[in-house]
Structure 1
Amino acid sequence: MKKSLVAIALAASFLTACGTSDVNNSSNAAVTAPAGKAELGSFGVDLSARNESIKPGDDFFMYASGTWYDNYVMPADKTRFGAFTGLAERSEKQVKEIIDDIASRQDLNEEEQLIADFYHAYMDTETINKQGITPIKPTLEQIDAIKSTADLTKVFGQAWLTGASSPIAGGMWFNRLDPNQYEMSIGASGLGLPDRSYYLEESERFAKIRTAYVDHIAQMLAFAGIKDGKSRAEAILALETKMAEGQWPREKRRNRDLTLNQIKRADLAKTYPGFDWDLYFKQTGYQVPQLNIAQPEPVNNMITLINEQSLNVWQDYLTFHTLSNNADLLAEDIYNTNFAFYGKILSGQEEPRPRWKRAVSEMSGTQSLGFAIGKVYVARYFPESSKKQMAELVENLRTAMGQRIDNLDWMSDETKVNAHAKLAAFNPKIGYPDVWQEFDGLTLTSDNLVSNVKNLRQFFREDSVAKELKKTDRNRWGMTPQRVNAYYNSSFNEIVFPAAILQPPFFDPNADPAVNYGGIGAVIGHEMGHGFDDQGSKSDANGIQRNWWTDADRAAFEAKADKLAAQYSQYEPIPDNFVNGRNSLGENIGDVGGLAMAYHAYKLSLNGKEAPVIDGVTGDQRFFLAWAQVWKEKRTEQSMLNQLRAGTHAPGRYRALAPRNHDAWYKAFDVQPGDKLYLPEDERVRIW
């Protein structure tokens, strides 16, 4: 469902922004392989998923996973399913077991009581349905009482607490010129559709979505007692269209040169006049002595709209978004109405997810009880042996990357010194935090869900405000251990791998080494690659954004990156809707470079020996099959469109094609000129 998002460019790059996609194509149940036996097949790859009637060189995705793809039936509560979803569902079920165990006991410690109370409140649909919109009435009344731009600004400033939306929004991040300092980053936000293109493109597809959006807004406004909803909904769409016109395209928001615009608080009103910044920040609690304006022109455009548009339209806008953004927490008729648009129409999801799964999702975030749950998750489900093996793999990948830097023919020795320094400084975090989040002072109840969510928001905001002027906390994690994902944080130059991703098909201690290198090895390489992608490469070994390249080396790098962007921009998942190779460039560099690093490390691990053939599959074939099956997925068309327009990653079926840039893949599968994926050697993009 729709969440209130801040449309600013942050400096963390994730393996998959969607984080939801199957391990087994017939069951989502947790599977534990007998000791010494790989969980998937005889060596770690599901060979039954292949469609061997398809040539690898024509469609490597369908060759590796085509039988699974053709036979898999999408569950009604899903919009996509693949390798990530299976692990995510496994993690969900494990977390539910933890919560059920806690909720059934009486002898609870303070953190366990918080978990039990929140879960009881979320699952108490009888109380929630009786309350209707009552839990958010104070916010709706505040919106209804707006009489001036000052009143409006206060509501915008409180959106972090109330769940309302705001055209100007931000959050605390790190000072990109001094990662030891926190810094508020501000940008343009507040759209109800996934991307500005949903408002601005004139095709029939998007026109139908906008018509459905107006109908949906009117239905949601009716819950607040607004009768003439249709005309007011049209005015909200018109407002959001102006907001979309004033915002940057996503590929521009990625550019860290454009999004680094530091300014002293004292100078803010002069450069961005017409907005009461002091009143706005007063609602947040932050002192904000210095901040970064991530999108200068869009912020000024939003200020113009705040002053020019009717207060009545802004009130309706806020009423709608407060209802919509809180729908998951409100009565089922409100939730179902919101789902009918955001779930069915925008995403192609036929049925809502079971309530317990929504509860687990709500509780598992970093700004919720995720780390309290994660502490138990790690104790139950994450063996320390996996952490040790993962640490060894990271070092193997670091060695491989170092050798690859030495062998680059397009980079000078001067730049290589800086590249090696950055590589040596990579800080891997594996499994779980060394220091756990504490929840002292947090109060939750078992009978007021909205109040619980507000208390959590307030708790984490107060924690952030208390740290604002202190040295940054390098022990912090941006994901909980039970999250199936990974990320790179350029400010700390760290690569982070939560416990939940360290399972098949990514990592299996009983799998053949080629499989682990093609799976988790390439994931490690992907995250390392973010430190050297088109944007991550703008920060140095200490996480400081600066140019550590010679001009000639940077130009050579950009030429290769442009070539990769053009390659991915040719993929057309939906007629007339292509992958945005420029917006997904960082992820694609991570994939192509990560594969190269992982393959190099795999070859080093063989110590010059030839890998055995297993079940008729060579070592190199196992390596590339493992990669392709990590990205097997099936999507609804609506979900695919959303990914193309609003996501920073190429869809999985195209990430599976990254090997077409690697010579070893051509040899492994006898890919020849005339095959659809064949690239002449001079067109294969080799960056790292």
Structure 2
Amino acid sequence: MKFTHSILLAVGGMLSFTACKTEKDETTRTVFFDKSGMDTTIVPGNDFFSYANGNWVKNTKIPDDQTGWGSFYELSEENHKKTKSILEAAATSGAAKGSTEQKVGDFYASGMDTVTIEKRGYDPLKAELAKIAGLKDYKEALHYMADDEINRGGVLFGMGVGPDDRQSTINRLSFIQSGLSLPEKDYYFKTDAETVKVRTAFLKYITQLFTLTGVDSTTARKKAEGILAFETTLAKSHKAPAELRDPIKNYHKLSVPELTKLTPNIDWKSFLETLTAKTDTVLVGQPEYYQALSAVLPTTSIDVIKDKAAFGYIDFNASLLSKPFAQARFDFYNKTLYGQPVQSERWKRIAQNTDTYLGELLGQLWVKKYFTPEAKERMLTLVTNLQKAYRNRIEKLDWMSPETKKIALQKLDGVTNKIGYPDKWKDYSEVDIKRDDYFGNVQSARKHATKENFAKINKTVDRSEWQMTPPEVNAYANPSFNEIVFPAGILQFPFFDKDADDAINYGSIGMVIGHEMTHLFDDQGRQYDVQGNLRDWWQKSDADKFTTKADQVVNQYNSYTVLDNLKLNGRLTLGENLADLGGLAIAFDAFRLTDQSKSDTKIDGFTPNQRFFLGFAQVWRIKIRDETQRAYVQIDPHSPAKYRVNGPLTNFVPFYQAFNVKPGEKMYKPEVDQTRVW
């Protein structure tokens, strides 16, 4: 499977993002760093994150409908408001059937029509639940999952279509480990109080969903226990999140006969035919899972398999149904797992779902109103300067041979930069949107996405496609495309403002750009060549040196703790930490190409170099709930905000110089001990 790296993990749609101006406030921003949020009682060299953001952290209350607050969250809120204004206008426009405005407007209106949704209860699920109830054995169950036009593979098969890692011009059908409802395998086995609490809540949630569909509480509880036991068996075969980061070990191209021999109790020929997947070759990321599934299916009661399928179907759709279903789902996934006290307002959730299911339709309206050509031009200049800085760094590396440098530079020169929005928009003509059928609208969009995806199998890859929508506050690197992508949603303050001084822009969006560029050369990305193929293009001695340096980064982040005693996983977060370290260095080098960098003029009392680092720290002005942090340590490849600031800075001499960091201060490391990769 592909490894696409984003600047931030968005969990369950809980994060969305921002702007420096609203429609009601068209005043021009003149201040680009918030001095009031600093805690100047802290020595910068002891804890720069708290020096730059300490008072803000102390005085900020996380809103009840959020898992955290800060830069990404605030921008998300502003972008939601912008999206709302577009959707409300579209919903009252009387636009012609089939038009962009009609589809996004009626989708939003249908989601806001709670009277109709409440009246229908779980009626939209009844026909499908009856099908599941009629299944006679596991083979029928597998046929049912393959035949599902909306959720191909159902609850047991994780599937996707994308570039073959070793032949990036061709799309392949890929299978990854699946079958679990909890975030990752350790949730099924750990015995600490917090994990036991999650499993107890999970049983309660399953029981609640079944009782809401008319099952008596005793039977519902037995179903829940059977599902948890079944998932626990499957979890034993799962790889941990850190193990999924190795693209070589998670790549297996298999013919259908080879896969069938490996998993003899799954009739793959029939399964693929039912999927309408015309292929004799597939990629399997984690064959161990499918071997375990093949072994357990014949010995598992068909009632348990049906219960698993039924629960998965109800869970998959619960947020689209009446309030008891939506509330039950929120209480488990958002409140228990991530500590969010209350649901966000309905309009926010429906606006987010409009973006999820009709993203590039909404995106067309969004960028027309909120993304200027001037902003795109300034971004292109920033990206160009960052590439120049990265090229210079590669050329001067003292640990890499000329042979490997030559290919690395070819790869860097071949990077595609996507800014703002796609050049070619997706076609949603087959999606049927009705003003009075929210559930049906979502299913139509899902069905269309599935059909669109499966039509790509064994076809030439379209490299113009985007994996994020324009309103998203995020960015990503895709090694299979050798590209970096920046949606319009993130190209706003505090990440970017066309009127800000270079120090702020290079410290914020410049670092984000450098971060994504570095992902193409991190421990995973470096294994892909300029065409996006998984291929070893490194001299062995250079690869060994890179690994030694990467291990130093692993050890550094392994030493950090959160919530008093919870250790970070330096191996899980390695790619993001390398990208943060490289992104900061590249952005600073690019900043040094600007006129401001060459001056001594202070703004807000700070030198240009100091403002660069303060702008960088301001981007990571984030505070999150303990429950969210606990979950992220297990599943999120990104380090907590504090260490995304302090971690890279401990290895960066220009920071030491800007803030006079001295021996004895907590962030100080002798230069010989500082880790430098790119």
TM category, shorter: over 0.9
Letter in 2 for 1:414: E
Give the drift of 1:318. 1.9
Change (3 A) 1:456 1:12: same
Match of 1:567 in 2: 556
Inter-partner Cα distance in structure 1 for 2:350 and 2:41? 43
Secondary structure at 1:458 match in 2: helix
Residue 329 of structure 1, aligned match among 320, 328, 345: 320
- Asked if 2 retains the 8 angstrom alpha-carbon contact of 1:431 and 1:498, the reply is yes
Where do 1:488-507 residues align within 5 Å?
488-507=477-496
Inter-partner Cα distance in structure 1 for 2:661 and 2:393? 25
Residue 206 of structure 2, aligned match among 197, 213, 217: 217
Letter in 1 for 2:2: L
Match of 2:438 in 1: 449
- Asked if 2 retains the 8 angstrom alpha-carbon contact of 1:433 and 1:476, the reply is yes
Match of 2:9 in 1: 17
Secondary structure at 1:467 match in 2: coil
Indicate whether 1:669 and 2:643 are aligned: no
Residue 107 of structure 1, aligned match among 95, 109, 122: 95
Inter-partner Cα distance in structure 2 for 1:136 and 1:588? 44
Cα shift readout 1:549-608 (whole Å, capped 9, x = no counterpart)? 011000000111111011112221124322211111111111100000000111122398
Where do 1:181-580 residues align within 5 Å?
181-227=170-216, 228-365=219-356, 368-580=357-569
Q: Which stretch has the larger CA shift, 339-348 or 378-387?
A: 339-348
Letter in 2 for 1:77: D
Change (3 A) 1:323 1:50: same
Give the drift of 1:125. 1.0
- Asked if 1 retains the 8 angstrom alpha-carbon contact of 2:16 and 2:79, the reply is no
Inter-partner Cα distance in structure 2 for 1:608 and 1:676? 27
Give the drift of 1:159. 5.6
Change (3 A) 1:460 1:608: closer
Give the drift of 1:678. 2.0
Inter-partner Cα distance in structure 1 for 2:485 and 2:664? 41
Change (3 A) 1:506 1:31: farther
Secondary structure at 2:158 match in 1: strand
Secondary structure at 2:181 match in 1: coil
Give the drift of 1:302. 2.3
Match of 1:6 in 2: none
Q: Which stretch has the larger CA shift, 470-479 or 604-613?
A: 604-613
TM-score scaled to structure 1, two decimals?
Answer: 0.94
Change (3 A) 1:73 1:407: same
Match of 2:86 in 1: 98
- Asked if 2 retains the 8 angstrom alpha-carbon contact of 1:153 and 1:276, the reply is no
Inter-partner Cα distance in structure 2 for 1:644 and 1:158? 37
Match of 1:587 in 2: 576
- Asked if 2 retains the 8 angstrom alpha-carbon contact of 1:28 and 1:89, the reply is no
- Asked if 1 retains the 8 angstrom alpha-carbon contact of 2:503 and 2:611, the reply is yes
Letter in 2 for 1:362: N
Letter in 1 for 2:264: P
- Asked if 2 retains the 8 angstrom alpha-carbon contact of 1:394 and 1:524, the reply is yes
Indicate whether 1:681 and 2:650 are aligned: no
Cα shift readout 1:498-529 (whole Å, capped 9, x = no counterpart)? 11111111111111101111011111100100
TM-score scaled to structure 2, two decimals?
Answer: 0.95
Letter in 1 for 2:673: E
Inter-partner Cα distance in structure 2 for 1:573 and 1:500? 30
Match of 1:156 in 2: 145
- Asked if 1 retains the 8 angstrom alpha-carbon contact of 2:597 and 2:608, the reply is no
Residue 606 of structure 2, aligned match among 606, 617, 620: 617
Change (3 A) 1:248 1:597: same
Change (3 A) 1:102 1:408: same
Secondary structure at 2:562 match in 1: coil
Secondary structure at 1:182 match in 2: strand
Indicate whether 1:642 and 2:631 are aligned: yes
Inter-partner Cα distance in structure 1 for 2:37 and 2:146? 51
Give the drift of 1:457. 1.4
Change (3 A) 1:279 1:223: farther
Consecutive unaligned residues in structure 1, runs of 5 or more? 1-8
Change (3 A) 1:189 1:576: farther
Change (3 A) 1:674 1:45: same
- Asked if 1 retains the 8 angstrom alpha-carbon contact of 2:95 and 2:102, the reply is no
Cα shift readout 1:586-644 (whole Å, capped 9, x = no counterpart)? 11111100000000111122398234221211111111111111111111111111111
Cα shift readout 1:323-360 (whole Å, capped 9, x = no counterpart)? 22211101101111221222221111111111111111
Match of 2:586 in 1: 597
Change (3 A) 1:444 1:404: same
- Asked if 2 retains the 8 angstrom alpha-carbon contact of 1:17 and 1:647, the reply is yes
Give the drift of 1:646. 1.5
- Asked if 2 retains the 8 angstrom alpha-carbon contact of 1:164 and 1:325, the reply is no
Change (3 A) 1:79 1:607: closer
- Asked if 2 retains the 8 angstrom alpha-carbon contact of 1:167 and 1:243, the reply is no
Letter in 2 for 1:499: A
Residue 650 of structure 2, aligned match among 660, 665, 668: 660
Inter-partner Cα distance in structure 2 for 1:370 and 1:181? 25
Give the drift of 1:298. 2.0
Residue 81 of structure 1, aligned match among 65, 69, 78: 69
Give the drift of 1:258. 0.5
Residue 144 of structure 1, aligned match among 107, 121, 133: 133
Indicate whether 1:64 and 2:52 are aligned: yes
Secondary structure at 1:172 match in 2: strand
Secondary structure at 1:656 match in 2: helix
Change (3 A) 1:30 1:48: farther
Secondary structure at 2:162 match in 1: strand
- Asked if 1 retains the 8 angstrom alpha-carbon contact of 2:473 and 2:489, the reply is yes
- Asked if 2 retains the 8 angstrom alpha-carbon contact of 1:218 and 1:229, the reply is yes
Consecutive unaligned residues in structure 2, runs of 5 or more? none
Inter-partner Cα distance in structure 1 for 2:264 and 2:21? 54
Match of 2:165 in 1: 176
Cα shift readout 1:55-85 (whole Å, capped 9, x = no counterpart)? 2222222111111111111111011111111
Inter-partner Cα distance in structure 2 for 1:137 and 1:576? 47
Change (3 A) 1:624 1:31: farther
Secondary structure at 2:175 match in 1: strand
Change (3 A) 1:279 1:515: same
Inter-partner Cα distance in structure 2 for 1:650 and 1:446? 43
Change (3 A) 1:616 1:445: same
Inter-partner Cα distance in structure 2 for 1:611 and 1:431? 34
**How many percent identity over aligned positions?**
36
Give the drift of 1:444. 1.7
Cα shift readout 1:410-442 (whole Å, capped 9, x = no counterpart)? 101110001000000000010111111122232
Secondary structure at 1:236 match in 2: helix
Secondary structure at 1:605 match in 2: coil
